[in-house]
Amino acid sequence: ELKLEDNEELIGKLKQ
């Protein structure tokens, strides 16, 4: 199950 913290980390990687 994804959490907000995990989503923020993934978004940060995508925004590289």
Chain segment 1-16, per-residue pLDDT in tens: 778 888 899 999 999 8
Q: What is the pLDDT of residue 4?
A: 86
Q: Which residue has the tokens 């940060």?
A: 12
The string of DSSP letters for 1-16 reads ---HHHHHHHHHHHT-
Q: What is the pLDDT of residue 16?
A: 86
